[in-house]
Structure formats: C-alpha cells, structure tokens
Amino acid sequence: MRKVFGIGINKTGTKSTAQFVKQLGLRTMHDRPNGKSIRDAINRGKRAVPFMFSNDAFFDLPEDIDHERLLERFPDARYIMTTRDTKQWVDSRIIHVLHNRTVTGKRSWTEIDTQAWRREKEEHESRVRETFKRLGKLDQLLIVDVCSDPDKAAQKIADFLELPRNDIGFPRLNTGERKLQQISEKFKCSKRSSFSGTKKPPNYEESEPTSTPPMSHRLGQNLLLGFRQARKFLTKYWNLTLAFCERVRFQSPILLKREE
C-alpha cells in the first residue's frame, strides 16, 4: 500500500485529519516525537526509516523535514498539506500557547510571536508548492482546508486516497473551543480557591491610632495591604483573561504583539 504523509503545518487540523484517515482504514500515526525520528532519517538520507512497516499514514511531521528527499524516498506516496485561513490559524496558535501556560503546564510552545508565525506558515506552504511543482509531483499533493468545510474536505481526502468514505464524518479534535473552555474552567477554579472562605480582616486604617500600634496591629496592616493588592491583581487578571477568551471565540482581531 502506498504511504500517506501529512505535511501541513501544525494547528491546521492535522490531528483531526489523521483520525479521519484512520477511520478510512489506514494504520495512522500522529506523534511529534516519532515524527522527529522520521524527519532525522529522511534529512540524513538514511535508507531505513522508522515506523514504516507498522504504519501506513504519518501526520504531525516536523515542518523542517526535507520534502525533496521525502519524495525521493517515497516517490509513489500521497501527500496531504492541510491549511486554513491565516488569521484563524494565528488565533488557534495563541489559544494553544495559553492552554500550555495555564492548563497543561508544558514547557514548549509558551511564547507568542504572531509576525514570525505568519512568516513560518507562508514560507512552509510556498516551499511545499514549489518543491512538488519543480519535481513534477503536483498530482500527488492534496492541499485542503479541513477547518472551513470539514465535510467537503473529508470527501476530497477520501477521493484523493482512492478509499471509500462510507458516510464517515470528519472528526473535530484538539479544537480551540475546547481549549478555551478548559482555560475558563481553570481560572474559575483558581478564583474560587483564592477567595472562598476568606473573611475580610479588620480595617486598621479606618481609625487613627492615638499611640503607636502594637506589633500585632502593624503586622495585621501589612497583611491586609498585601491581601488587597493580591485580590486586585487577580481580579484584574481574571477579567482580562475572560475578555480575551471571548474575543478569540468570536474571532475578533487579536493583537498580543504589535504587528507592523
């Protein structure tokens, strides 16, 4: 059976596409660490490429894989480059970073640079098109947007792979909506745990002391001031986070970093 390679940049529906291809009957791998092993073997020109005997389709390959060498190694394979509207794609990456920062705690993908991201996407897709055109392999490349019209994209993929679809629906996995919900739930839990069960300390600043207050009173004043500042900061951060999530959800313009 001919191999299938997903060469779309991440956050373009690669996981959903991999699941759909799996439902079509192909043994499918969607794994970035294993994808790096495949990339290293291809880029170094090795004849033996890992995971080839146990799988038919491979997704989430690193973007810096050498597509020309990949075509030389698998000249009869089928290649699927998923894509999507750039603005929606940037929003999805921002949500992914926020999810890593607040929910999963992952150390990778924690920085936001929308300008660099846009350049990365444009260069990657241009490089893929140019390589396949130069090598005369455009008939083996499918460029598909699975996010704007999943049902239409599913039929295109099934026809491209010459596999019967059998009314299989296109799955929606790893979506931004779900991640926004998890972020919101995370902050709601944090807010409840921060303020539930707390009583307002006595306000020592309301009455002027007639003499130097004892050490316990001065300590209470410092604790009260710190509590108020922390509550003000957390409340402000919570409101900003909710506002940001709502703007992303309704696809409003997001500019976390000024774009020129």
Condensed to tens digits (0 to 9), the pLDDT of residues 69-90 reads: 999 999 999 999 999 999 999 9
Domain residue spans of the chain: 4-84+118-174, 177-249
Q: Check: pTM over 0.85? Answer yes or no.
A: no
The amino acid occupying position 69 is R
- The per-residue pLDDT for 253 is 44
CA distances in angstroms from 206 to 198, 209, 212, listed in the order given: 20, 9, 15
| Predicted confidence band of residue 196 (pLDDT cuts 50, 70, 90) | low
For 4-84+118-174, the fitting CATH number among 3.50.30.10, 3.30.70.260, 3.40.50.300, 3.40.50.2300 is: 3.40.50.300
Closest CA to 34 of 57, 50, 14: 50
User: In percent, how much of the chain has pLDDT > 90?
Assistant: 60
The amino acid occupying position 58 is F
Cβ-in-10-Å burial (0-12, 13-18, 19+) of 34 comes to middle
More confident residue, 26 or 198: 26
Condensed to tens digits (0 to 9), the pLDDT of residues 7-31 reads: 999 999 999 999 999 999 999 999 9
**71: helix, strand or coil:** helix
Return the number of other C-beta atoms located less than 10 Å from residue 162's C-beta.
8
